[in-house]
Amino acid sequence: MAAAGLFTAVHAGTVAAQDSDPAASVRAPALRVYVGLWTTHFRDITRGMRQNWLVGVSWRGMYGGTFVNSFGNRSFTAGIQRTLARGADGTIIPRVGYRLGLVTGYDEEFWSLAGKTPVLPFPQLLGGFDSGMAGVELGIAPLIATFGPNLRF
């Protein structure tokens, strides 16, 4: 099932080849290690991109990580991560997906709800490119945009 001829549908962790040949199917990477994160806040775009010192992993549809947020607090995040579509194998492979999870480490300076609860919802749309074992990812969440490199195993 191709979308705009660039992506193929992902089902149960297996990427189907566009020619529907079962032997041409490939497995999606089981482990992705995130080794950095830069963010910008939509409410204060003049702050620019900030390095957030993320270390994280995604594995079999789950993700988790820790980083120093833009307010200087240690944050933890975890939840589900899914790939909606992945391009055909090649030198550079595009992909799109999402995360739904929780994040800690914020107060009302970031969002008024954060002053009432230590854990916030974290929905994020993802887009990225993979080449060999390396990848880059752009994320869009309600209040921030993120950019970061990762390694696939």
Predicted local distance difference test score (pLDDT) of residue 46: 77
For each of the chain's 153 residues, which pLDDT tens digit applies?
444 444 334 433 434 333 444 433 445 567 999 999 999 988 887 777 888 999 999 999 999 999 998 888 999 999 999 999 999 989 999 999 999 999 998 887 777 887 888 999 999 999 999 999 999 999 999 889 999 999 999
CATH 2.40.160.20 fits 2-152, yes or no: yes
Report the pLDDT value the prediction gives residue 100, as an integer from 0 to 100. 98
Residue 134 sits at the vertex; the CA angle it makes with 128 and 138, to the nearest 5 degrees, is 25
Which pLDDT score is estimated for 43?
81
Q: What is the largest CA-CA distance in the chain?
A: 53
Neighbours of 42 (CB within 10 A): 11
Q: CA 114 from chain center: how many Å? A: 22
DSSP β-bridge partners for residue 83: 97
pLDDT at position 107: 82
What's the pLDDT score for residue 97? 97
Q: What is the pLDDT of residue 15?
A: 41
**SS3 letters for the chain?**
CEECCCEEEEECCEECCCCCCHHHCEECCCEEEECCCEEEEHHHHHHCCEECCCEEEEECCEEEEEEECCCCCEEEEEEEEEEEEEECCCCCEEEEEEEEEEEECCCCCCCHHHHCCCEEEEEEEEEEEEECCEEEEEEECCCEEEEEEEEEC
Q: Are 93 and 132 in contact (CB under 8 A)?
A: no
pTM score: 0.77
User: What token pair was written down for 80?
Assistant: 């589900």
Q: What is the pLDDT of residue 5?
A: 42
Annotated domain spans of the chain: 2-152
